[in-house]
Amino acid sequence: MSRRVALRAPAKLNLALAVLGKRPDGYHDLRSVLVTLDLHDDVLVAAHRRLEARTSVDVGPDDLTARAVRALAASCGREPHAFVRVRKRIPLAAGLGGGSSDAAAVLRGCAALWRCAADLVAVAAGIGSDVPFFARGATAALVSGRGERVSPLPAPPAPLDVVVVRPTLRLATADVFAEHAADEVGAERHVDAVAEAFARGVVTAELLRVHAANDLLAAAERRCAAIASWRAAAAARGIALALTGSGPTLFAIADDRADALRMARILTRAGLRARAHRACVA
C-alpha cells in the first residue's frame, strides 16, 4: 500500500453566479456553473504519526486542509493522523477556490491512504462551500444550495480558452457577502443558460461572454474599488472582464488560444496581471 499520494488541486472559475437569497443559517443559497482551470496547487498527503499540515504561504489559522483531515477521520472512525504539504500557486482570497481545492485533494489523498470509502462530497460539504465541487472531480458542474449540491456537466469537446486577471489584492468572501444587497440579483437566468449550453453540448465563446454574470459584482466593487477600474481599463480596449466567485480575480472568455494570448498581451500592457489559461481541464 502506498504511504504517500501526490495530487493536483485545480483552481476554478464561476462562469456565471446567482445569489438566490439568505438562508436561516446565515449562509446564502447560490446557483453557479463552475469549471476547473489549468492553474493548480500541488498537494502531498502521507502517512504520519500525528496531524501535520504545511503550506508554502501563510494561510492563517483556518487551514482547510487540516480541517479536511479531521473531517474524514471522524467519518471513517479513526485518528486524524496525516502529513499534508501544499505548494501554493493559486492566490489566496482571490475567488479561485484554492483553499477549497486543496481541502478536496486532501480528502482524496487521505481516503486513498486510509482505504476509507466515505462519501467525499458529503464530507466536503461540512468543510466549505466550494469543497464539494472539487471533491466531485468534475471539470464542469452546476452547483446549488450552499455549494453542497453538485451536478456534473459534460465538458466541451475542447478546453475553453480564457484570460485570467489576478490582482495582488485579497478580498474576503465573507466581506463581499456582507456587502451584498438583497436586490442585487438577476444572474440566475444566465446561470441556467450556461448550464443548458453545457448539457446540450453547444457551448461557444460568444454564449459564455453574453451570460458571464455574477450577482456579487456590485458588492465586490464596493469592497474593492480597483475592480471597477480594472474592468473599465479592459473595456476601453474592447475586452469584457467578468468576476469569478467573490473576486477580486477577473476573467475574459477568448475565442481560442491565439485570442487569449492576444488579450493577455493587451491587458498586460495596460498594467494588469493577465495570463492566458485553459478551463474545463482535468
Identify which of 154, 189, 248 has the alpha carbon closest to the alpha carbon of residue 31.
Answer: 189
Contact 231, 218 (CB under 8 A): no
Q: Which residues have C-beta within 8 Å of that of residue 185, sequence separation ≥ 6?
A: 18, 19, 20, 215
Q: Which of 41, 63, 102, 130 is catalytic?
A: 130
Residue 194: count other Cβ atoms within 10 Å of its Cβ.
Answer: 26
Active site residue 183: no
Dist CA 162 CA 36 (whole Å): 12
Contact 141, 14 (CB under 8 A): no
Q: Tell me the sheet residues that pair with 278.
A: 161
Active site residue 12: yes
Contact 207, 193 (CB under 8 A): yes
Identify which of 136, 133, 140, 134 has the alpha carbon closest to the alpha carbon of residue 155.
Answer: 140
Characterise 137 by phi-psi region: left (phi > 0), alpha (psi -120 to 50), beta (else).
left
Q: Which residues have C-beta within 8 Å of that of residue 22, sequence separation ≥ 6?
A: 28, 29, 182
Q: What is the separation of C-alpha 133 from the centre of its chain, rounded to a whole number of angstroms? A: 8
- CA torsion sign for 121, 125, 126, 127 is positive
The set of catalytic residues is 12, 130
